[in-house]
């Protein structure tokens, strides 16, 4: 990542703060927790348990895992639910155990799986929550981890909305043997991987440490600032005097920009941040990085979702 400086600027220390230095109550309300979902409960049940443990009124997950499926389940807490939509559309990575219905040589297995690298077509399963129509999805990488008889363990890195059960079925069709998914684990969702995931017991223990000893460290170690959830997006940092206008829904104009990441493309999803790296809003870039750097005036980003509360920074407009 390369950062391009458009205008030198400093942030007033009296307003806002680095996301990792927020007071603990605010840190929780603007946090994301990564639960290692066990087999059995629904994703909704896991969210309900998180709300109960943390004694908060609002939480939501980014991407349903079926009851039998395990693995990475990002849960936004309170204010952080505002960024869940962007996490829903981020890439996913899975490890799955597929069983083929008759024997095939391993070389043919490897060749067949490679066939599914790239763009594929899928129709969502009958029990899915989306409309059943043919759609394109992209497989970024697929590799066999282990083969034991008719059981094939493989990893797949894919676009959001890819149905792994359907992928296994389609692999079976190409092989001519038939196949079905036996087990599935999500090991990554957007910027969050299974190394970051904790159990519900871990969360409960951290809360008890805080209640008994006022020790915040355990909660801070397992809860991430919501800004962690937009690491995969291109970023634009703005001067302090532009922050409050954005909080009131104004689009971002060129004079308010301090610095940007390179390689922003037209229509890219972008995160707009303060100079203290606090998330202000999400939107679509109207220009490329090069064009933005050369602009002295004009609208740069079409805002889609305001995250920061108005009044966090002083009003410098109107």
Known catalytic residues?
66
Q: In terms of residues, how long is the chain? A: 318
34 vs 200: CA distance, rounded Å: 10
What the block records as the tokens of 139 is: 């497989």
Residue found by looking up tokens 């969210």 in the block: 47
160 vs 125: CA distance, rounded Å: 15
52 vs 62: CA distance, rounded Å: 19
Helix, coil or strand: residue 129: coil
What the block records as the tokens of 285 is: 């870039």
Under 8 Å between Cβ of 142 and 155: yes
């Amino acid at each position: 990542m390369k950062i391009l400086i458009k205008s030198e600027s400093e942030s007033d220390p009296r307003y806002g703060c680095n996301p990792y230095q927020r007071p603990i109550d605010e840190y929780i309300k603007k946090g994301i927790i990564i639960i290692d979902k066990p087999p059995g409960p629904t994703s909704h049940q896991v969210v309900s348990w998180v709300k109960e443990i943390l004694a908060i009124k609002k939480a939501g997950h980014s991407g349903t895992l079926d009851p039998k499926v395990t693995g990475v389940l990002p849960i936004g807490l309170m204010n952080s639910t505002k960024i869940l939509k962007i996490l829903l559309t981020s890439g996913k990575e899975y490890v799955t155990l597929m069983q083929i219905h008759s024997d095939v040589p391993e070389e043919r297995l490897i060749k067949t799986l490679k066939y599914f690298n790239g763009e594929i077509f899928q129709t969502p399963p009958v029990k899915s929550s989306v409309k059943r129509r043919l759609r394109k999805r992209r497989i970024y990488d697929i590799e066999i981890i282990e083969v034991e008889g008719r059981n094939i363990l493989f990893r797949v890195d894919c676009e959001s909305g890819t149905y792994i059960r359907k992928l296994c079925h389609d692999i079976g069709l190409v092989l001519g043997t038939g196949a079905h998914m036996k087990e599935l684990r999500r090991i990554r969702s957007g910027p969050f991987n299974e190394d970051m995931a904790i159990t519900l017991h871990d969360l409960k223990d951290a809360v008890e440490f805080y209640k008994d000893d006022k020790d915040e460290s355990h909660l801070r170690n397992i809860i991430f600032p919501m800004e962690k959830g937009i690491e995969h997006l291109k970023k634009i940092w703005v001067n302090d005097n532009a922050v409050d206008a954005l909080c009131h829904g104004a689009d971002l104009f060129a004079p308010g920009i301090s610095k940007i990441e390179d390689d922003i493309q037209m229509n890219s999803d972008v995160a707009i941040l303060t100079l203290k790296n606090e998330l202000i809003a999400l939107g679509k870039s109207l220009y490329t990085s090069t064009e933005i750097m050369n602009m002295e005036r004009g609208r740069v980003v079409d805002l889609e979702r305001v995250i920061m509360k108005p009044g966090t920074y002083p009003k410098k407009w109107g």
